[in-house]
Amino acid sequence: MSEREAGGGAGAPGVGVRLGVLGWPVAHSRSPEMHNAALAALGLSGWRYQRLPVPPELFDETVRALGPAGFRGANVTVPHKVAALALAREATARARAIGAANTLTFGPDGGVAADNTDAPGFLAALPESPRGRTAVVLGAGGSARAVVWALLQAGAADVAVWNRTGGRAQGLAAEVGGRAVAEVGPADLLVNCTSVGVRELAETFKSLPVTADALSEYQCIIDLVYRRGDTALVHAARSRGVAVVDGLEVLVRQGALSLEGWTGRAAPIEAMRAAARQT
């Protein structure tokens, strides 16, 4: 597909096609570097991806202005994923089932379409299919809903959901599936969908219901949290020889799927991975 067919010539001359990530805060996001590297690798020189810091009270009116301002699409991160689904005119079945959207596409008529690529992105990041496997999911926020839904759709045999606030785990299990647990035990996969590990590394094993040594009871640890350098969870798993998928790999995979939807082109995964990991 040519740049023009992919939308590279859309919009007023010199404006090009715009993409971005909506969040509050959003300064920490690696998505702009990752997507701009992808756009360059695809030769989409008129496209730009930018941070869009938007407080919750301005989310709806800002999103409605993006299409007319030349935006083709936007990723959505904390705390806007539920609001993004709510304002969309159309949404994929998976976004509705999960109850949150991380990808918006703006139509020429001003319509907003919502999708959730966190779920298929998580599955794409796994070293193998979770079909028939057991999993423990830590957390009950937006990313946990996507991960539990993805695991069950992919045929996981058992998905246990633990959350600091137990009632939220019960609510997630009732709405999405899986079973809420107050304590966690051994399983094939352990997925951290809490925000523990973003800043306070020393607090990780005080805040989560596993010890560093108990990580050996899992075949693979997946940490959705990403930061510069390994999280404490990833570091402890690696040092015990446990297979690891880190948050940057999940970021790359969900971003690749969003990008493919906006451009109609196969995502340059290696370029995205290199840019996401560049310090």
Residues of this chain that interact with ligand NDP (CB under 6 A) are 78, 118, 139-144, 163-165, 168, 193-196, 198, 207, 224-226, 247, 250-251, 254
Residues 6+ apart with CB under 8 A from 44: 3, 6, 8, 17, 263, 265
Active site residue 206: no
> In the chain, what's the furthest Cα-to-Cα distance?
58
**Cβ 223 to ligand NDP, closest distance in Å?**
8
Compute the distance between CA of residue 72 and CA of residue 136 in angstroms, rounded to an integer.
37
What are the CB-based long-range contacts (under 8 Å, 24+) for 266-270? 267/38, 268/37, 268/38, 268/41, 268/42
Residues 6+ apart with CB under 8 A from 19: 35, 39, 47, 48, 49, 50, 71, 72, 73, 74, 75, 262
The residue sitting closest to ligand NDP, measured at its beta carbon, is: 141
What one-character DSSP code corresponds to residue 210?
-
Closest to ligand NDP by CB, 102 or 134: 102
**Cβ 81 to ligand NDP, closest distance in Å?**
6
Closest to ligand NDP by CB, 190 or 250: 250
Residue from 35, 48, 72, 81 carrying the catalytic annotation? 81
**Cβ 210 to ligand NDP, closest distance in Å?**
12
Q: Please confirm whether the linkage preceding 79 is cis (ω < 30° from 0).
A: yes
- Whether the Cβ atoms of residue 40 and residue 265 lie closer than 8 Å to each other: no
Closest to ligand NDP by CB, 11 or 171: 171
Closest to ligand NDP by CB, 8 or 121: 121
Closest to ligand NDP by CB, 6 or 97: 97
**Cβ 42 to ligand NDP, closest distance in Å?**
21
What are the CB-based long-range contacts (under 8 Å, 24+) for 207-214? 207/164, 208/138, 208/233, 209/138, 209/162, 209/183, 209/184, 210/138, 210/184, 212/236, 212/240, 213/240
Catalytic positions, please? 81
